[in-house]
Chains A and B, each alone.
Chain A
Amino acid sequence: MRPARVPVVTAVVAVAALTAVTGCTEKSDAKSGGTNSVSVTATDDACEVSKKEFTAGHVELAIENKGSKVTEVYLLFPDDRIVGERENIGPGTKQKLTAEVKAGSYDIACKPGMKGDGIRQKVTVTGGGKSAKRDPRLDKAVAAYRAYAQAQADETLPATKTFTDAVRKGDLDAAKKAYATSRIGWERTEPVAESFGDIDPKVDVREDGLEEGQDLAKDWTGWHRLERALWKDKKIGEREKTLATQLDKDLLDWQKRVGKAVITPTSMANGAKELLDEVATGKVTGEEERYSHTDLVDFKANVEGAQKSYELLKPVAAENDPALTKELDKQFAALDKLLEKHREGGAGSYAFTSYDKVGKADRKELHDGVNALAEPLSKLAAAVAESK
């Protein structure tokens, strides 16, 4: 029986169609000129690449899994940071992985069975002179976002110190007051912090986020551990004071590393969407701040961070997909208005209604608002990727 569901439009046609809609006529130039196409043939015991040296710029890995196991393919920096990845590539199927790559050495890893370090191939990226030219406005957007992420980290440290000082002094009320606001900078730029992998589990993990074998009493650190002490246990002991100092230290590490984060226009766009996903899965349900019920402060900060990414990308996105940016403007404004209903302090304050006092109907309304924004936001990456 032949398959009934066949994609009617191929990838190439899809791009052409988008281009026609957006009026982006330079797309074809970028395709033929600046793109390095590398074939990757993955089997159960090999990972063959068609060339091991290519020029900096837009790289496209055309992956084919000729093995019997489901595999995944990574493009990695020498320190194993991920440049790009494709997971769940079934036997006999093809996938494409595209990335923006600078000169240097990299690893391509195939992981048959999606386990282990994978079968590696060293590749070298040379030059840079011939790199695909990215819209200079996007370079500017990335630079501005990097500065924003840095500023958020810079401001978070003193805000957190107010909080941790209160904990160290054993001042329960002052600590409670400073808790939620100490997290704002972090929540605005969380996808950047998460990209490092190791900081997030130290400062922002929740009780149920610990892994098997980890000891809640010993291994649980960060904001939410202190949140539980303040609101549930209602006391500050020696352990809490030590944890406060640890939090300062871990955030200092974050502050130092923000500048080195890998940021691209598409990672900014998808980071904005991820911030809304954070809201949809953790904040709207009240899981994130289950003891303090300050979820709406995180919510607000997540939306602000998403909006920042969006505003920076907007000049380019508005050219490629004006209908999308119009919709995003509308939905950001609508969600802001919804949040405003729950703001208890004056304009600009971060005093929001305690989330345990937000009823079911209001939670549904907030959730609908998040979906209304997150769905078009998931299309922002396409609107900036189209104009490399």
Chain B
Amino acid sequence: MAETTTTRRSVLGWGGAGLALGAAAAGGAVAMARSGDDVTPAADPGAAVAFHGAHQAGIATAVQDRLHFAAFDVKTDDREEFVRLLKDWTKAAARMTAGHAVGEGAYGGLAEAPPDDTGEALGLRPSRLTLTIGFGPSLFGKFGLDDKRPEALVDLPKFPGDNLDKDRSGGDLCVQACADDPQVAVHAIRNLARIGFGKVAVRWSQLGFGKTSSTTPDAQTPRNMMGFKDGTRNVSGTDAAALARHVWVGPKDGTDWMTGGSYLVARRIRMNIETWDRTSLQEQEDVFGRDKGEGAPVGRAKERDEPFLKAMKPDAHVRLAHPDTNDGATILRRGYSFTDGTDGLGRLDAGLFFLAYQRDLRKGFIPVQRSLSRSDALNEYIQHVGSAVFAVPPGVRDKDDWWGRGLFTGEA
């Protein structure tokens, strides 16, 4: 069966041509796309994103429309068994991201036994599915790996206003599934969960839609559930220099097995939609520091004009989140909107499922959130209700490589 026929090397070998593919050349996060044997640009929403590469796909990859994010608890204390699961997962992930069914497929096998694949993605295109794994702080103690826990993977401090639900927080590991078709993303998590039964159990999961940030600078910045463009200044997936500086863990960062990886913060941020909708336009724009129509920073004309921070209210969201306010702290955002119906009081249970990738939590999310949680005018309309952090290892290099190999074998 054909695995990745286009290797990372051959894509990079195109040199400048890679840029023409949009996100494709970003720091080796190969977004080369494949459907069957046809090579198609990753911008095609049905195409396949290469699974193998120096970095895991799903970080710098141009943001897809849909998300299924799942956090798992480890149920086994047998290290070998857990490693076997990581290998099985890697194999299944490589197949699913290429648009193939898991194992021996969804039909045609023994009639008396359940099929390997659950089947709901049959006939659907790969839909740019990416699967990205992360290891939570609690994982390291479970397998005697405390000495391998990166210093940069700190537990988050308690931020003022946090109202964290432990059933929506933490996890020994996570898998982020992003795709342009929600059914493809859900199928991927469902099948990994199934392969994992007995070894891991789903702790919580979150569905997301309508990407709320873009990793491609030319794309229109999507709007969040408050109707505002959010994440305009996000690190671009095509800006290799910015990625190397702010997102990818470098060889001198202190934890060899994480070189080429990144650190992920996941926050479920509930929005008080109804009260926000009753807020005057002026206040809404003051809260963000941008106008609602164009998304331009206060006093500027266009969305991408350089913000003039002093023109904004001191507690404006953009002003407080800006790198200049936070000693240059910059993160790569990959958030999604969520709506989980209503909450029993008739309020829309909706908000932002915030995902941020950075080279070091202490220099990325933490300083930014410190300043936001203290003063952000937006706090009146939002509440952080779920939280987790993960070390996201580097990419799976080739067919023989597997998720977490560096951590469990000590080989780089």
Contact with A along B11-23 (1 / 0, CB 8 A): 0000000000000
Which A7-32 residues have C-beta < 8 A from chain B? 7-11, 14-15, 17-18
Chain A residues 339 to 388 lying within 8 A of chain B, measured CB to CB, are 364, 368, 371-376, 378-379, 381-382, 385-386
Whether the pair B113, A97 counts as a contact (CB closer than 8 A) is no
Docked-complex contact B198 and A376, CB < 8 angstroms: yes
- Within 8 Å of chain A (Cβ to Cβ): is B328? no
Interface centre among A11, A97, A270, by most chain B C-beta atoms within 10 angstroms, is A11
Tell me if B63 is interfacial: C-beta within 8 Å of chain A.
no
B279 to chain A, nearest CB (A): 36
Which A-chain residue is minimally distant from B126 (CB atoms)? A4
Q: At the interface, yes or no: B143 with Cβ under 8 Å from chain A? A: no
Residues of A within 8 A of B197 (CB): 371-372, 374-376
The CA of A379 and the CA of B99, in the complex, are separated in Å by 25
Taking the complex as formed, is B122 at the interface, i.e. its CB lies under 8 A from any CB of chain A? yes
- For chain A, the bracket of interface size reads 35 or more
Q: Which of A5, A18, A266, A378 counts the most B-chain CB atoms under 10 A from its CB?
A: A5
Q: A372-B198, A376-B198 are in contact. Are A4 and B113 (CB under 8 A)?
A: no
Q: Which of B108, B112, B114, B123 contacts A5 (CB 8 A)?
A: B123
Supposing A4-B35, A8-B1, A371-B197 touch, asked if A381 and B112 sit within 8 A by C-beta, the answer is: yes
**B308 an interface residue at 8 Å Cβ cutoff?**
no
What's the minimum C-beta distance from A311 to chain B, rounded to whole angstroms? 19
B112 in contact with A7 (CB, 8 Å): no
Q: Which residues of B contact A379 (CB under 8 A)?
A: 113-114
* B109-129 residues at the A interface, CB under 8 angstroms: 109-114, 121-126
**Known contacts A373-B198, A375-B194, A375-B198; is A4 also within 8 Å of B125 by CB?**
yes
Do B112 and A98 have beta carbons less than 8 Å apart?
yes
CA–CA, A248 and B73, complex, Å: 46
Are B112 and A382 touching (Cβ within 8 A)? yes
* Chain B, range 74-119, C-beta contacts under 8 Å to A: 75, 99-101, 104-114
The answer to whether B36 has its CB under 8 Å from any CB of chain A is: yes
Least distance between A93 CB and chain B CB atoms (Å): 9
The closest CB in chain B to the CB of A269 belongs to B112
| Interface: B201 (CB within 8 A) | yes
User: What 0/1 pattern do residues 234 to 255 of B give for CB contact below 8 A with A?
Assistant: 0000000000000000000000
Looking across the interface, which residue of chain B has its beta carbon closest to that of A375?
Answer: B197
- Contact bitstring A256-276, B, C-beta under 8 A = 1, else 0: 000000000010011000000
The docked-state distance in angstroms from the alpha carbon of A18 to that of B113 is 13
Cα distance, A5 to B46, chains bound together (Å):
12
A327 CA to B88 CA, complexed, in Å: 16
- Bound form: Cα–Cα A314–B100 in Å: 33
- A3 on interface, CB distance cutoff 8 Å: yes
**Interface pairs (8), CB distance under 8 Å:** A6-B100, A7-B108, A9-B104, A9-B105, A10-B108, A86-B111, A375-B194, A375-B198
The 7 closest A-B pairs by CB, nearest first: A7-B105, A372-B198, A382-B113, A375-B197, A368-B201, A4-B99, A11-B108
